[in-house]
Amino acid sequence: MKVALIGVGQAGGKVTQSLVEFDYNMDFNAVRGALAVNSAEADLQNLNIDTTLIGRDKVKGHGVGGDNELGAEIMQQSTGEVLENIDGRITSEAEAVVVVAGLGGGTGSGGAPRLVQELQRIYEIPIYTLGVLPGDDEGALYQANAGRSLKTAVRESDSVMLVDNDAWRGSGDSVAEGYDRINDAIAQRIGLLFASGEATEGVGESVVDSSEVINTLRSGGISAIGYAATEASEDPEENVTTITSVTRNALLTSTSLPDVTDAESALLVIAGDPDRLSRKGVERARRWVEDKTGSMEVRGGDFPLDSGKVAALVVLSGVERSEKLNEIMEKAKMAANSQTTETNPDEYTNDDLDSLI
């Protein structure tokens, strides 16, 4: 699936760069344009992709300090400039635009939904959000920001691909190591998803194409991504069980939203050497995903790669009714209420989080 990427805020810019580098290193050619947008000039200086500084008159290049209402306001005032800078990157080849943002910081959580809203007005292709939730240790302000931003992004986006910051962080990681691990995991999983349907080595029996990705995400709401890989036998018959096993690991132990399995629709992509992939194994794994998710709309297919491993990528769409999402929103509401003693007590409602826009 050919995409254009727009990273908003510090985390959004870094994840976008990781996606660009992964796509380039794997020679997938799925990312057809990328731009990083931020109100903090220092966060743009270390990026190797094109950048746009917004809000110069208001915050003088120093960022919004976690204030996502200010982030939304600055993006609203800067959409003309941002759209002008991305216009050449969203070509007729692009099948979707993905706005990438950390949902805890001010510029990303406030600016991303506002930008998505404007992109929806202009473009007819799907506009997705790739949102990264703050970790449990990142404080009440970030949790409250994430709840408000997520609520708004779900309303404005065709789908929100959501990543829990703690899902792929190692227990012994430092802060920097944790973020690097998360960015690499996002790039591998989301990058492989984008690459589905693009030209690759070999010819599979039933290759996934872009329309299957788009149709899976069409149900809207929130999506989660799972991934796992293991060594493959040279004999495809020996990989029947291997494919089912790696699919189970992808869904049950390595999703971007831990413990989420119920979904409205799903996509299973089995990647590996076409000569080692078993059609029986792929179909058996697809039926298992159907049973586990409770969805009758589960698509599946191959993704040919020159590799000695077999990998499973599982996309779950429409997971917002899960217990995990309820926990996330409840945590955000509690964080928002705890902020009322320090900010305007009317800023948040007690029974729900208000939208940013």
pLDDT for position 254: 93
For residue 143, the enclosing domain spans 3-195+322-339
pLDDT for position 311: 96
Whether 13 contacts 38, CB under 8 Å? yes
CATH number assigned to the domain comprising residue 257: 3.30.1330.20
CATH number assigned to the domain comprising residue 62: 3.40.50.1440
Task: Kindly state whether residues 190 and 231 are assigned to the same domain.
Answer: no
Q: With CA atoms as reference, report the closest residue to 150 among 137, 163, 138, 140.
A: 163
Q: Which two tokens stand for residue 302?
A: 């191959």
- The pTM for the full model equals 0.91
Reduce the DSSP state of residue 232 to 3 states and report it.
Answer: coil
At 119, the amino acid letter reads L
Task: Give the number of domains in the chain.
Answer: 2
Task: Kindly state whether residues 184 and 283 are assigned to the same domain.
Answer: no
Considering the domain boundaries, does residue 111 fall inside one? Answer: yes
Angle between helices 323-339 and 140-156 (to 10 degrees): 120
Considering the domain boundaries, does residue 136 fall inside one? Answer: yes
Task: Kindly state whether residues 178 and 37 are assigned to the same domain.
Answer: yes
Considering the domain boundaries, does residue 350 fall inside one? Answer: no
Task: Kindly state whether residues 249 and 185 are assigned to the same domain.
Answer: no
Task: Kindly state whether residues 83 and 164 are assigned to the same domain.
Answer: yes
Considering the domain boundaries, does residue 214 fall inside one? Answer: no
Task: Kindly state whether residues 311 and 331 are assigned to the same domain.
Answer: no
pLDDT for position 339: 66
Task: Kindly state whether residues 308 and 327 are assigned to the same domain.
Answer: no
Task: Kindly state whether residues 326 and 313 are assigned to the same domain.
Answer: no
What order do you get walking across the sheet with 31-38 strand by strand? 51-53, 31-38, 3-8, 96-102, 127-133, 159-164, 222-231, 309-317, 265-272, 298-304
Considering the domain boundaries, does residue 345 fall inside one? Answer: no
pLDDT for position 88: 79
Whether 61 contacts 38, CB under 8 Å? no
Task: Kindly state whether residues 229 and 181 are assigned to the same domain.
Answer: no
Considering the domain boundaries, does residue 355 fall inside one? Answer: no
Contacts of 351 (CB under 8 A, 6+ apart): none
pLDDT tens digits in sequence order for the chain, 357 residues long: 999 999 999 999 999 999 999 999 999 999 999 999 999 999 999 999 999 999 999 999 999 999 999 999 999 999 999 999 988 778 888 999 999 999 999 999 999 999 999 999 999 999 999 999 998 888 899 999 999 999 999 999 999 999 998 888 766 666 567 778 889 999 999 999 999 866 555 444 577 889 999 999 998 899 999 999 999 999 999 999 999 999 999 999 999 999 999 999 999 999 999 999 999 999 999 999 999 999 999 999 999 888 999 999 999 999 988 888 888 888 888 888 876 544 443 433 334 567 766
Considering the domain boundaries, does residue 131 fall inside one? Answer: yes
Number of helical (H) and strand (E) elements in the chain, helices listed first: 11, 10
Task: Kindly state whether residues 93 and 229 are assigned to the same domain.
Answer: no
pLDDT for position 214: 94
